[in-house]
Amino acid sequence: MDKSVARNKKARHDYHILETFEAGLVLTGTEVKSCRAGKMSIKESYARFLKGELYLVNAHIAPYETGSLFNHDEKRMRKLLLSKKEIRRLLGKVNEEGLTLVPLKAYFNERNLLKIELALAKGKKTYDKRQDIKKRDMHREAMREWKGRL
């Protein structure tokens, strides 16, 4: 039972998801408290490699309300925790195949640790997006007809 904190709903619309990974996140105390309160957004964020390490860029964690001068910067880069083997593999895929690392959701696992579900993804073209919308609409229409016959 994972407690979801934030979801990136546009990711599945904008990208073809090839693989998913679970990564830990390095946070300060006030960031964790703010995340527990549900004040996190990963809508426009992505993962990026810097000096052989993986960072989450552009994720927004609101300042903790009762935090004082120890509050954090809202959009700072946060280090993602993966094994060296996974990092090397992802770095190779991103560099060679032109893929992107996009966060899908942030959640607390059963041990109360904040995890990020990362996806190795390839960007969709506009016609791909239209086809997905068309399939979804056709499926909804079929379900309505099927439900009407019961």
pTM for the predicted model, two decimal places: 0.78
The whole-angstrom separation of Cα 136 and Cα 59 is: 29
pLDDT digits (tens, 9 = 90+) for 39-48: 899 998 999 9
Which tokens go with 93? 């895929």
pLDDT digits (tens, 9 = 90+) for 83-121: 999 999 999 888 888 788 999 999 998 888 999 999 999
Is the Cα torsion angle 124, 18, 110, 87 positive or negative in sign?
A: negative
Smallest Cα–Cα separation from 74: which of 122, 125, 40, 50? 40
Instruction: Parse the chain into domains and list their residue ranges.
Output: 3-125
Sorted by sequence, the CB contacts under 8 Å of residue 39 that are 6+ apart come out as 61, 62
Query: Which residue is associated with the tokens 């880069």?
Result: 77
CATH architecture of 3-125: Beta Barrel (2.40)
- Do residues 118 and 20 touch, judged by C-beta distance below 8 A? yes
